[in-house]
Amino acid sequence: MKAVGIVVEYNPFHNGHLYHVQQTRKKTKADCIIAVMSSSFTQRGEPAIVPKWERARMALAGGVDLVVELPYPFAVQTAESFAHGAISILDALFCEQLCFGSEHGNIDAFIEIAQLLTNEKEQHDEKVKHYMKQGMSYAKAYALALNDIGHDILDISQPNNILGLHYVKAIIEQQSKMTPETIQRTVAHYHDKTLPVNESIASATSIRRFLQSNHDDVVRYVPKTTYDTLQTYRHTYTTWHDWETYFPLLKYRLLTMEPDDIRYIAEVEEGIEHRLKKAVAHATSFHDFLSAIKTKRYTWTRLQRICTHILTNVTKKEMAKALKNKRATYIRLLAMNEIGRAYVRKVKKQTTLPIVTNVKHIQNDAVYHIEKKAAQAYMCILPEPLRTEALQREYATPPLR
């Protein structure tokens, strides 16, 4: 049984994701498609619009056979750590191939640049430090350093290209037997903020913006199962999960923390804690708050991740412990169909990581310690008794089938 891995957030699952799953199966001849999916918060430091269980259900309906969790310490991270966590899980599940979407669409360029970065790591790292000392963001410094050592065939300013590059680089560094493949993204770009009029594929960003504006007519851009799942969740829990809803909680955290306390939070550096304290006192919305503290060096994405770590109270020490080996320490099953179930039965005695269906078995794990805190913070915006019910679901829900 040939397994092929994909790395996803499904925030929410839309027609572009459906195309990716279908093309992955067609291009790789996969018998089992395994999706490793971010849990409660995403790589760019945003709350997922609905919980992982709803998104996992969307994935199964969209043709994925097995959905496993990418825990918070890897999910809310730079592209490099995000990729290492995802690849370590898919490799432990014996995936033969990884298939990712990209703006470039040609796997040869990703392999060439990933090998170049591996061979010229010290030179590239030094150049990154050089540009960051000039006040540039890490992403900008990374791109310029790559240009300096001879890259001109891959536009890594594009979000899916940079993630794809780190997937391939992680495969090389972890000496995985997986072979990478890519599918070119169609129509919508990751950062598009408006819904296209004459197309059926829109970015997840534009779909979320439309939903958050109290419009629910996104049926053209998502499969029916996604649409029904979103409507059911909103009807049951009365809210979407977005930063504006969490902002009062973030504001409370920042107003009651001392600068020294903020300094211990993951990703907080170089005195940004004073800027955060000053700006939050006058901010009336999350958007206004981030606009006030954004700089050339501190990008919107990096600030969102810092805010997420403050909200979840994840410290540098906790994060360093969880990421010590750059690899996941367990595989948590979220959802599977019969194909996925058969595949799990086949590999569960061979894999080097424990396959978890009940979190009581990983209570002392450093990665799960952070994941648990994130889940608790994520549910805090829900009214009682829905919040308690949602938390019980987090700890007691077996994999969906």
pLDDT tens series, the chain, 401 aa? 999 999 999 999 999 999 999 999 999 999 999 999 999 999 999 999 999 999 999 999 999 999 999 999 999 999 999 999 999 999 999 999 999 999 988 999 999 999 988 888 888 889 888 888 888 888 888 888 888 887 677 888 888 999 999 999 999 999 999 999 999 986 555 455 566 656 788 889 989 988 887 666 788 899 999 999 999 999 999 899 999 999 999 999 999 999 999 999 999 988 899 999 999 999 999 999 999 999 888 889 999 999 999 999 999 999 999 999 899 999 999 999 999 999 999 999 999 999 999 898 899 999 999 999 999 999 999 999 999 999 988 888 889 88
pLDDT of residue 196: 61
Annotated binding site for ATP: 7-20, 101, 160, 185
pLDDT at residue number 191 = 53
Instruction: Give domain limits for the chain.
Output: 3-189+326-396, 243-321
Q: What three-state secondary structure class fits 9? A: coil
Query: How many helical (H) and strand (E) elements, i.e. helices and strands, does the chain have?
Result: 19, 7
Of the candidates 105, 124, 129, 126, the residue with the CA atom closest to the CA atom of residue 114: 124
Which among 399, 326, 332 has a CA at the least distance from the CA of 362? 332
> Measured between alpha carbons, how far is 29 from 25 in angstroms, rounded to an integer?
5
Cis peptide upstream of residue 12 (ω within 30 degrees of 0): yes
Sheet holding 179-184, edge to edge: 179-184, 97-102, 3-8, 32-38, 66-70, 331-336, 355-356
How far apart, in whole angstroms, are the C-alpha atoms of residue 206 and residue 202?
A: 7
Cα 127 to Cα 191: distance, rounded to the nearest angstrom = 28
CA angle 89, 95, 97 (to 5 degrees): 115
CA distances from 294 to 143, 223, 279, 287, 288 (A): 20, 36, 11, 11, 10
Binding-site members are 7-20, 101, 160, 185
Domain 3-189+326-396 of CATH type 3.30.565.10: no
How is residue 48 annotated by DSSP? -
Provide the pLDDT for residue 91: 98
Whose tokens are 């970065």? That residue is 117
